[in-house]
Every structure is written in C-alpha cells, then in structure tokens.
Amino acid sequence: MTYKLLLSLLGLTVVALFTASLLIGVADQPVGASLSALFGGGEGPLPMVMREIRLPRAILGIMVGVSLGLSGAAMQGFLRNPLAEPGVIGISASAALGAVLALQTGFATTFALALPLSALIGAGGCVALILLLAGRGGGTLTLILAGIAVSALASALTALVLNLSPNPFAANEIIFWMMGSLADRSFTHVWTALPVMAMGWVLLSLTGRGLDRLTLGEEAAASMGTDVKRLRLMLVIGVSAAVGAATAVVGAVGFVGLVVPHLLRPLVGARPARLLFASALGGAALVLAADIAVRLVLPGRDLKLGVLMALIGAPVFFHLIWRMRGRT
C-alpha cells in the first residue's frame, strides 16, 4: 500500500467516524433531522444537542486522538523503542496531578477553565523538571529516567491527595475524572485546548526528518545534520503541549499513543517520519471509534473512555510482548 493511499484511507475513516459520532447519542434522532439541525440551526432542543454537545465532543475526539497518536509515534521514534508512549515522560501523570489538586481544593469550581488550566500547569511543571533532570545533552536514557522519576512522583502525590481527602465526593469526582471521558465537554474545552495542542502538533510534525535519521543512532543522526539536543527539546515540549492539553480536557486516556503507532508501523515501511502523520490520523480514528463504542456498549451507564481504551489496549500490549518474546 502506498503512503498516499494509506493516508487517504485513514482520512476517510476519520471523516466517517466523525459523522457517526455526531449521529449517535442518548437522544435518538433520525439522521436527516440531526444533520439539518446541525447545519440549519433553528429552534428547539435538537440543534442545541447537535451544536453544543455532539459537535464539540466529536471535535475533541479528533483533537485528542491526533495529539495522542502523534505524540506516541514521536516518542517511539525518538527513543527507538516500540514500547514507548507519551506517558513515559510523565506528562499525563503530572497533568492529572494538577487537575486532581484543582478538584480537591475546590479551585476547579471557581471558573469553567480552572480544571484544564491546572492540568496544563501540572504538565508545564513536568517539562521544567524533566529538562532540569535530563540536562543539556541529547541522550535518550536520561530522558527516560527523568520521565520515570517525574511520573512516579506525580502518581505518588495524586495518591496522597486521594489518601488524605476528607471529602468522599471530591475523591469520587477525582477517580471518575482520572478515567478519562469525552462526555459533557463544550466548545469552551475545544478553544482552551486547541491553541496549546496546535503548538504541540506543529513542533512534533517538524521532528520527522530528525526522527528518520535517528534510526541509525544519535551520532549518525548528528553527523547527517540533525541537532539532537534541539530535536529532544522540540519533542519534549511538543509532547507536553499536545498530551498535557489532551489530559487537561478529557482526563487520562492511555494506550492510544502505544497501540496506534505499533499497528501502523508495518504499513509505512517503518519510517518514523511517515508514521507521525499516519499515527495522528489513526489516533483520531481510534479515539472517535472508542467514544462511539462507550455510547453503544453501555448506553446510559457512562462507561469511561479511558477504561474502554485500556480494555482494548492491554490485549494489544500482550500481543506485542508475545511477538517480541518469539523473536529473541
């Protein structure tokens, strides 16, 4: 399959799933009425449902999927490890910590954007700490170790907040938030996340050539004209912006960044640069599909997106490990 054909197929899948996401929901309405309400507007509850509930939900699905898929492909390319994912450098855990603190202290209720902004501050703190720990060099090992350390600290602090939480309702809210969901999101979330995510997308899409060269190792990449230190900086900031913003608006959604690049790698001739764009589209398709599934599988029970994703992701992970075991 050629690269262009693959991208076209993935693009069409995303469009189809986006449309399906708009048409499937609690309020079961005919397709024609839904679409005319979406584009034509008018009075009554249906245009409101389409424009204020389903449209932002579907758009966020694409944005989050692109962020996670792109970040996963970039992390795997940079670390040259198919088991890497955006969570490796602790961004999701740190963003979650920021959000959890906001929920626990009640700051989250002070204004609409308080929760996502707190999560973004958490992600920003993570970047600063990682760059401080990992030093000025372009090495991958220090980056992984710094990420593990930051991730462990953020998770421990999140657990501490839950542990000491005097308010069972707040604890409950925190647990549900951490499962990750696209339900009940509005355009406020879209406009909050979009500028930060877009910055991340631009930075990550510029890493392609460097990631391709890194296939031959850091020294070979440097000798072919890649500034590896700069590449690492772009990667860390790009992943943090994209994944930090995604976690800020939908909570923690794992496995997309791990599974999507893994599935698409054989279809792009294993080229890291090509995998970036394919994974961005693939991530969008997977998140949209999973978000449709949570509405269809257990309608009315509010099955969380993060839970379903982990249920899909873990078996793929098993498969990955099984295959690696067979090879060595």
Partner 1 sequence: MSLLSLRDLSVTRGGRKTLDHATLDIAPGEFVGLIGPNGAGKSTLLRAALGLIEAEGESNLAKLTPAARAKAAAWLPQAREIAWPIPVADLVALAQDGDTEAPQVKAALKRMDMAGFATRPATSLSGGEQARVLIARALAQDTPLLMADEPVAGLDPAHQIGSMQTFAELAAEGHGVIASLHDLGLAARHCTRLIVISHGRIVADGTPREVLTEELLAEVFAIRCHLTETADGVIVQPLEQIR
Determine if 234 is a binding residue for partner 1 (CB under 8 A). Answer: no
Q: Report in angstroms how near the CB of residue 222 gets to partner 1 at its nearest.
A: 6
Cα distances (angstroms) measured from residue 66 to each of 9, 151, 197, 243: 16, 23, 9, 10
- Given candidates 65, 238, 272, 283, which one binds partner 1 under the rule CB under 8 A? 272
Q: Which residues of 154-177 are buried (b: 16+ CB within 10 A; e: fewer)?
A: bbebbeebeeebeeeebbebbeeb
Determine if 207 is a binding residue for partner 1 (CB under 8 A). Answer: no
Cα distances (angstroms) measured from residue 313 to each of 168, 183, 320: 30, 20, 11
Q: Report in angstroms how near the CB of residue 272 gets to partner 1 at its nearest.
A: 7
Total binding residues toward partner 1, as defined by CB under 8 A: 22
- Given candidates 135, 227, 297, 302, which one binds partner 1 under the rule CB under 8 A? 227
What is the H or E stretch that residue 216 is in?
none
Closer to partner 1 by Cβ: residue 19 or 215: 215
**Closest Cα to residue 97, out of 115, 60, 73, 122?**
122
Q: Report in angstroms how near the CB of residue 327 gets to partner 1 at its nearest.
A: 10
Q: Report in angstroms how near the CB of residue 137 gets to partner 1 at its nearest.
A: 10
Question: 3-class secondary structure for 5-24?
Answer: HHHHHHHHHHHHHHHHHHHC
Q: Report in angstroms how near the CB of residue 88 gets to partner 1 at its nearest.
A: 16
Determine if 51 is a binding residue for partner 1 (CB under 8 A). Answer: no
- Given candidates 4, 219, 300, 301, which one binds partner 1 under the rule CB under 8 A? 219
Which positions from 167 to 206 touch partner 1 by CB under 8 A, shown as an x/- string? ----------------------------------------
Which positions from 107 to 146 touch partner 1 by CB under 8 A, shown as an x/- string? ----------------------------------------
Q: Report in angstroms how near the CB of residue 263 gets to partner 1 at its nearest.
A: 15
SS3 90: coil
Distance CA(157)–CA(150), nearest Å, equals 11
- Given candidates 54, 185, 213, 232, which one binds partner 1 under the rule CB under 8 A? 213
- Given candidates 57, 262, 265, 295, which one binds partner 1 under the rule CB under 8 A? 265
Distance CA(15)–CA(20), nearest Å, equals 9
Determine if 212 is a binding residue for partner 1 (CB under 8 A). Answer: yes
Q: Which 76-105 residues touch partner 1, going by CB under 8 A? A: 80
Q: Report in angstroms how near the CB of residue 78 gets to partner 1 at its nearest.
A: 10
User: What dihedral angle (degrees, nearest 10) is formed by the CA atoms of 165, 166, 167, 168?
Assistant: 70
**Residues 74 and 202: beta-carbon distance below 8 Å:** no
H helices within 112-268, ranges in order?
A: 114-134, 141-164, 168-179, 187-205, 208-214, 218-223, 228-250, 256-264
Q: What is the DSSP letter of 268?
A: G
- Given candidates 32, 44, 225, 326, which one binds partner 1 under the rule CB under 8 A? 225
Q: Which residues bind partner 1 (CB under 8 A)?
A: 80, 209, 212-217, 219-220, 222-227, 265, 269-273
